[in-house]
Structure 1
Amino acid sequence: MKIRINNRTSYSYSKPVFLEPHFLRLRPREDPAQHVLEFSLDISPEPGGLGYGLDPDSNWLTSIWFDKQTEVLEVAVKTVVETLRSNPFDFVLTSPEFSMRSSLYTDDLRQRLGHVLTPIGGGAASELAHSVGTKEGLMAYLTGLNSLIKESFQVVYREFGNPLTPAETIEAGAGACRDLAVLFIDACRTVGIAARFASGYLAASDVPEEHTLHAWAEVYLPGAGWRGFDPTLGLMVADAHVCLAVSSLYVGAAPLTGTFRGTGASSKMTTLIEVERLDGKI
C-alpha cells in the first residue's frame, strides 16, 4: 500500500526566543515492513545548521540549530511511504511455547534485549499481564493481551502530553493510543517479553486519531524479529501503519524535541496531519 502523509507542526512564542538545538524523528523508518518513496522537510525560520544521523535506536535523526531569535518555528514534512506487510502473521516462531516461569529468549538474546525487558510501571500492570492464559502459546498470549486492553479500556483523544503511567491508565479505565501502548509494553515486560514503543501514523478510517500521530507497541518474537501490536485497535500491525520511530521509552520515539530560552516567554503548539491512501482518500 502507498500512503501519502503531510505533517505540519507549528510553535508560536509570546516574545522572541532563542531556540536551543532541536531533534526531529520525522522521516519514516526503513525496514522490511516499509519503504520511503518520497520525503521532503521544510523548516522556518531557516536553521543556522542541520545534520543527519541515527539515534541509539537506529531511528533517522535530524538535528537543527539556530543562530538568531524568532517568534515562530514551523516544521513541515511531506512523504510517501510504501508499506509492505499485508500479512502480519508471515513468520514461524522458533519458540512458540510460552511460560511465565522460564525465559523466552536465549542468554545471548536476553543480554542484547536488556533495555526492552525492564518493566517501567512499578508492577502496576502485573495483574493485567497475569490475567491472560499462556497454555496456547506465545502468539495466543499476545493477541489475548492486545484484545483484553482493547475491550477493557476506553479510547480517548489527548493531542499533547506524555503518556500516562500504567497505574494512571488502569485507574482511569481509559487512555489515548500512547497510554495503551505503554500499558501493553509494561505488561509484556512484566512477564519477560521484550517490548518497545513505536510512533507514527495510521491510515485507517475507523479510529478517532486517524489524522494525528499514532502509537503502538512492538514485541520481539523469536524467529520473527520485531512485530507490532496495536492495543488501541486490538490488532497486529500490518500495512496501514507507518512507523516514524521506535524506542524502549516514549521519549526516544518522540517526533520532535527541543527547548527555547526567553525570560517570561510562553509557547503554543499546533499540528496539522493529513494521511491519504493513494488507492483512495482517508
Structure 2
Amino acid sequence: MRIAIRHLSRYQYDQPVPYALQRLRLRPQSGPGQTVIDWRVTVDDVEPALSYTDGHGNRIDFVRHQRNTREIVIVAAGTVETVDRAGVYGMTDGIAPPWIFERETPLTQAGDAVKALAAQVSASAAQLQMLHELMQTIHERVAFEPGSTGVGTDAETALSEGHGVCQDHAHVLIAVARVLRVPARYVSGYLLIEGVDDQAASHAWAEAYLDGLGWVGFDAANNRCPDDRYVRIATGFDYRDAMPVSGIRIGQSAETLDVEITVQQTQTQSQSQSQGKI
C-alpha cells in the first residue's frame, strides 16, 4: 500500500521568542514493512541544516531559531510504501540490545494497577498469546477519550482512571510487559484510517521483543497488530524518546500549538493503469 502523509505543526507565541532549539523526530526510515518513496521536512519553508541518528535509530533534525520569532511552522510530508507483516517487525535493529527495554521509566513505572494486570495475564504459557490477551484487556479497560490525559500522564494513572489516548494504551502495555520481563518499546507513527483523511494527532503503539520473532507490534488502542496501514517514525523507551517535536526556548511567551495531519492512500502507477482499463 502506498500512503501519502502531510504533518504540519504551527507554533505561535504571544511575544517574540529570541532563541529556541527544537529536536524533530519526523522522518520515517525504510525498513521491514515500509519503504520511503519520498520525504521532506521543512521549518518555515527551509530544510534543517543539521541531522543525525540517535541511539534508538531515529533520524533527528536539529533546528535553532535566533530571530525573535512569533511563529514557527514545521511541515513533514512524503510518501511511504507499506506491506502487511502481521505486526512482526523482526529482529533487533540499531545498537541497543533488547534487554535494555526491560527497564522502567517515569511514564511506564509499575504501580498497583499495572502489577495486578501483569499477575492476571502471566498465567498464559505462550508469550505471544499472552501479549494478544494483554492488548485486548487494555483495549477494554482503557477507554479511548481524546483530551482526557496529557503527554505527562503515566501508565499507572491511565490504567487506574480507565481512559486515555493511544499514547496511554502503549504505555500501559509497555509497563505490564516490563513487569513480566518482556522487553517492550514505544513506537510513534501514523495510521491510515478508512474514511478519515484529516487527523488531529499522530499515532502510537507498543512493540515487544519475542525470541524467534524479534519485535512484534501491538496497538491496544485499536486492539490489533500493525499492518500495512501503519507508518512508523520513531521508537524509544516511552513517548519522550519518540515525540515528534521537543525543545527549549528562552523567554516568557505563551505558546499555542496547532497540528494538521493528513494520511491518505495513493495509487501506484500500476494500480492507476489497471483501474483505468475497462
Query: Under TM normalisation by the shorter chain, which class is it?
Result: 0.7 to 0.9
Distance 1:221 1:160 in 2: 30
Do 1:123 and 1:190's aligned partners in 2 also have CA atoms closer than 8 Å? no
Displacement after TM superposition at 1:70 (Å)? 0.6
Query: 1:249 matched to which residue of 2?
Result: 238
Do 1:45 and 1:70's aligned partners in 2 also have CA atoms closer than 8 Å? no
Distance 2:243 2:158 in 1: 20
Identify if the C-alpha distance between structure 1 residues 204 and 188 changes in structure 2 by more than 3 Å, giving closer, same or farther: same
Q: Amino acid of the residue matched to residue 165 of structure 1? A: D
How high is the TM-score relative to the length of structure 2? 0.85
Query: 2:6 matched to which residue of 1?
Result: 6
Do 2:187 and 2:233's aligned partners in 1 also have CA atoms closer than 8 Å? yes
Query: 2:276 matched to which residue of 1?
Result: none
Query: 2:60 matched to which residue of 1?
Result: 61
Give deviations 1:195-235, integer Å, cap 9, x for gaps: 00111111123899955211110111212221210000111
Which of 255, 266, 269 in structure 1 is aligned with 2:257?
A: 269
What percent identity do the matched residue pairs reach?
26
Bigger drift between 219-228 and 190-199 goes to 219-228
Q: Amino acid of the residue matched to residue 143 of structure 1? A: H
1:22-171 aligned at under 5 Å gives the runs 22-44=22-44, 46=46, 50-88=49-87, 112-119=97-104, 120-124=108-112, 125-158=114-147, 161-171=150-160
Query: 1:232 matched to which residue of 2?
Result: 221
Give deviations 1:66-103, integer Å, cap 9, x for gaps: 23221100001111011123433698x9xxxxxxxxxx
Q: Amino acid of the residue matched to residue 277 of structure 1? A: Q
Identify if the C-alpha distance between structure 1 residues 219 and 163 changes in structure 2 by more than 3 Å, giving closer, same or farther: farther
Displacement after TM superposition at 1:123 (Å)? 3.3
User: Secondary structure, in 3 states, of the residue corresponding to 1:9?
Assistant: strand
Give deviations 1:152-177, integer Å, cap 9, x for gaps: 22111139831521221122111111
Bigger drift between 202-211 and 59-68 goes to 202-211
User: Secondary structure, in 3 states, of the residue corresponding to 2:49?
Assistant: strand
Distance 2:150 2:232 in 1: 20
Distance 1:232 1:80 in 2: 25
Displacement after TM superposition at 1:112 (Å)? 2.9
Determine if the alignment matches structure 1 residue 222 to structure 2 residue 230. no
User: Secondary structure, in 3 states, of the residue corresponding to 1:259?
Assistant: strand
Q: Amino acid of the residue matched to residue 235 of structure 1? A: R
Do 2:87 and 2:218's aligned partners in 1 also have CA atoms closer than 8 Å? no
Identify if the C-alpha distance between structure 1 residues 259 and 236 changes in structure 2 by more than 3 Å, giving closer, same or farther: same
Identify if the C-alpha distance between structure 1 residues 90 and 172 changes in structure 2 by more than 3 Å, giving closer, same or farther: closer
User: Secondary structure, in 3 states, of the residue corresponding to 1:25?
Assistant: strand
Structure 1 portions without partners, runs of 5+: 94-110
Bigger drift between 231-240 and 49-58 goes to 49-58
1:170-189 aligned at under 5 Å gives the runs 170-189=159-178
Distance 2:178 2:121 in 1: 14
User: Secondary structure, in 3 states, of the residue corresponding to 1:196?
Assistant: strand
How high is the TM-score relative to the length of structure 1? 0.84
Distance 1:84 1:207 in 2: 20
When the two chains are superposed, the root-mean-square deviation of aligned CA atoms in Å is 2.6
1:199-210 aligned at under 5 Å gives the runs 199-205=188-194
Do 1:43 and 1:73's aligned partners in 2 also have CA atoms closer than 8 Å? yes
Identify if the C-alpha distance between structure 1 residues 51 and 80 changes in structure 2 by more than 3 Å, giving closer, same or farther: same
User: Secondary structure, in 3 states, of the residue corresponding to 2:160?
Assistant: helix
